[in-house]
Structure 1
């Protein structure tokens, strides 16, 4: 067997994004996303009528307008950065790298087929979620398994579970904060805002909140910050049940009264800027903080295609493909 047909390939995975900032494209994307039982685990006979009868018709036009506000010349921010990450990682690692989104396109099936066409019989799956959660990382595993179902020849697989505690990730995060401080000065507080999940999921064994807490603690140590100079919160709750606390919006409302006038905020659970970081955090949350009496709200971008981020990915690939 030639080396070409024993090739190792990398499947780089993120959540996904609508193909266009239109109501119809957003509706297709949200439908696939919100049908995933990992994301919404309600009984289907209860959830599906609500989803298709109320949520999608009402939310799709609103979300489309939000996407229009952050859409880049090359496309959706998440896809623009994912493409840059793919190309940079391929160049850095010397291996074939393909994109596969959990929802939308390119699909996981598209990505795996692309790698197999390049002779890859071994595929390393790299979900770009530093902290593990059943709602994200496990959903990737489900989609990979589904994409391989029925195939006569399966590739050999390896799967990155999490990397929030990897020294290269922590170093990249800390460097991004230091660069921000060098350019804008140091605020009164650094707030790490993570995407939330229902508290019930954590109670049932999802380690996500522990991973988020570890991320914040390690970053604090890396930056040498005292306890009063850094904190964490959770954003994007949906529905009426209790989610992980403290909530980002409620936290932002309370900070100015506690003397925090200049805030630095970052989103360490996101590997790429997207609708949630650019519109919800950099937009909506800014308004909440300033209206509560804050004076300066400074958003620290995600790692995106930063050189240190690509170096981290290449390190993960090298570590997880040893012996191949």
Structure 2
């Protein structure tokens, strides 16, 4: 302890989420999309193709449409992904105490990873633990954060010890918190079925990361093991199995599916089955009341609140469904704060 009563050797913690525009106005959304969609880990095309295609064509067309959706999402506190992240930072800091310095950054836009790392460097932390807030590892999310952190820190003259929590797919605290939120909704009324909808990625991303060709995009994901530990698809199925077990669901009572694909533009297969297609088939099968989870996200955002919560609800009702309910994300729930603090301490 120093004279001020603060531990002299502190651990830095960097929490990172994906990113958000500074505002829901088109210019800010365009800046965000430009940075996001030109990341080589997100769109794994050669730069000579990626930049002209997305900066010159895709982003200008998409930005005004996305801006309208962001306006639906925006609150008095701004972007939910941002304020939930800042709330989580403050609460995890309180839970961990003065032996830790907790910073929060976004992979794209503000607050930047570089700014957050500078805060930790100014605090003269002994080492840094990086927790990308993506439960399941994907090169386009966790991998991109890891690459960016190393790019920034690699320019420092003094580089501290750095470690990453690359996945928390099966973390007991993560599972328990999401299951508790699901049980709370199930206590309100009966549901015929549960959908676990995850953000999709191109199938080629999974195959490129396959360990010794283990991945076949099929039954290989029926178990979670050393050969598919970093397979995004396998992790989604494992999270779903654990959540189903925690909530007492039999295999026939839930579906695992994938949302947010860009296939229509890129003509490239993404992970299947597609959530929007699956949910339209439910009513014909007698499934009229559905509880929907989005366990790839730990904070409410466009993909949860708008896509799963509103757009999927509308599709389901148009197909003959009666009730569609989104389970809220973890945000800064007390159980989630405890789970994050426990992961940090374990690391």
Q: Provide TM-score, normalisation by structure 1.
A: 0.96
- 1:208 aligned partner: 232
3-state SS of 1:154 partner: coil
Residues 163, 169 of structure 1: 8 Å contact kept:
yes
CA–CA separation in structure 1 for the residues paired with 2:255 and 2:47: 37
> SS where residue 140 of structure 2 aligns?
coil
Task: Tell me how large the CA RMSD over aligned residues is.
Answer: 1.3
Residue 113 of structure 1 pairs with residue 118 of structure 2: yes
- Greater mean alpha carbon deviation, residues 83-92 or residues 41-50: 41-50
- The counterpart of 2:246, out of the listed 198, 222, 240, is 222
1:190 matched residue in structure 2:
194
Once the two structures are superposed, residues 62-89 of structure 1 have per-residue CA deviations (whole angstroms, 9 ceiling, x without a partner) of 1111111010111101001001100110
Unaligned runs of 5+ residues in structure 1 are none
Measured in 2, the distance between the counterparts of 1:28 and 1:113 equals: 23
Match of 2:289 in 1: 262
Pairs within 5 Å for 1:20-59: 20-59=23-62
Deviation at 1:5, TM superposition (A): 4.9
Runs (4 or more) in structure 1 with deviation over 4 Å come to 1-5
Please give the alpha-carbon distance, in whole angstroms, between the structure 1 residues aligned to 2:250 and 2:177. Answer: 20
Report the equivalent of 1:143. Answer: 148
Aligned equivalents of 1:217, 1:150: Cα separation in 2: 42
Q: 3-state DSSP class of the match of 2:43?
A: coil
Q: Give the structure 2 partner of residue 314 of structure 1.
A: 341
Tell me how far apart the structure 1 counterparts of residues 177 and 39 of structure 2 sit (CA, whole Å): 32
Residues 42-121 of structure 1 mapped to structure 2, 5 A cutoff? 42-94=45-97, 95-121=100-126
The aligned runs of 1:115-134 (5 Å cut-off) are 115-134=120-139
CA displacement, residues 265-303 of structure 1 (integer Å, 9 cap, x when unaligned): 010010100111111111111111111110111111111
Alignment map for 1:276-291 (pairs within 5 Å): 276-291=303-318
For residue 126 of structure 1, give the secondary structure of its aligned residue in structure 2.
Answer: strand
Measured against aligned partners, the alpha-carbon deviations of 1:173-228 in whole angstroms (never above 9, x if no partner) come to: 1111111122x313100100000000111112250000000001111111111122
CA contact (8 A) 1:4 1:119 kept: no
In the alignment of these two chains, the number of paired residues is: 319
The residue matched to 1:100 in structure 2 has which SS? strand
Q: Aligned partners of 1:307, 1:254: CA distance in 2, in Å?
A: 37
Say which SS state the counterpart of residue 151 (structure 1) adopts. coil
SS in structure 2 at match of 1:136 = helix
1:230 shift after superposition: 1.1
